[in-house]
Amino acid sequence: MTVGKVWAGLFVGAVIALGYALTVNPGITASVFGASPPQANHQSDPTADAAMNRPATPPKDPAKSVADPSGETAAGKPERLQTIRANTVSLQGKALTRWQEWREGVERLSREQPAQVYIGGDPSGKRLCLTFDDGPDGRNTPQILDTLRQKGVLATFFVLGEQASTYPQVVKRVEREGHLVASHSYSHPHFTKTGERSIRSELSRTEETLRGITGKRPALFRPPYGDIDKAVLPVLEHSGYRAVLWSLDTFDWDHKRPEEIAAYVIENARSGDIILMHCGGNGAATAKALPVMIDGLRQKGYAFVTVAEMLAVDAYQ
């Protein structure tokens, strides 16, 4: 045997041995070329999560699950929604800036006072709240009630006291058909620009009006314009109210077409959302949008509950 054949035999043997080693332990490949073997990445990808409109999943401590004031459990799972989204395409410049500042203030207040100020509900189930402000009236509210009855949906109506006194039969129908009747003040003022005495009057007059119609005192209140701050909260609490705002604003009052309102809600709704709409004189487009909206949300697997059920709080005092 020649020397060349000996060296060839040794080379072939080395290659076969190396191939077997790589098959048994792929990490050797990286070691051979001077690099560490690749590790499996089981962490959440923040970029992908952002694209899917959800936060990156934080590491969980299974020993902790107590809710904190931020609205999240110590394990990182949201207890309820704490952010507000809205169809603000019509807002520009200073108007958009003011809205963003308002949103930041309300979200901060809800984090600081989670038992008193609510924005959204539990995101772990496929449930939504349809809520209607500024009613009742004699046209749009009855049309909305007709749709809700036909679709078998329960909703929450934040009622104005002066409107209730004008349309008591509509309020009776709202309550009779199983919907939640809540307070939206008597005359729709800015509460942060109203003195304590006036706020108490707005609350008590609405309460007396609704109790005279339904026999019940509401325990849930939505501030007109979403106008609320730390100075307003003690007055509400003393009167027995929790403040309920919203996590999804349709801007249905802002010259929106019915198909635009329905499409926005169907596309943007997320589990736990409290959806803001109107049923007074500013609710004509919503009344027309509602059937398509409900059908589209049901096709996506959502069920509908009242605000009290979503938040697990008392509806009445």
Active-site amino acid positions: 133, 278
Query: Do the Cβ atoms of 164 and 136 come closer than 8 Å?
Result: yes
Pairing of strands 274-278, 117-118: unpaired
CA angle 102, 244, 79 (to 5 degrees): 95
Q: Find all residues with CB under 8 Å of 236, minimum gap 6, and list them.
A: 116, 203, 221, 242, 243
Query: Residue 244 and residue 72: Cα distance in Å, rounded?
Result: 18
**What tokens appear for 230 in the block?**
């730390």
Whole-Å CA distances, 38 to 21, 31, 32: 17, 11, 13
Judged on CB neighbours under 10 Å (0-12, 13-18, 19+), 106 is buried
Question: Tokens 């059908």 map to which residue?
Answer: 295
**What tokens appear for 234 in the block?**
């003690």
Q: How many CB atoms lie within 10 A of CB 68?
A: 12
Q: How many CB atoms lie within 10 A of CB 274?
A: 26
In three-state form (DSSP H/G/I as H, E/B as E, the rest C), the secondary structure along 153-209 is CCCEEEECHHHHHHCHHHHHHHHHCCCEEEECCCCCCCHHHCCHHHHHHHHHHHHHH
Amino acid making up residue 24: V
CA angle 218, 291, 142 (to 5 degrees): 45
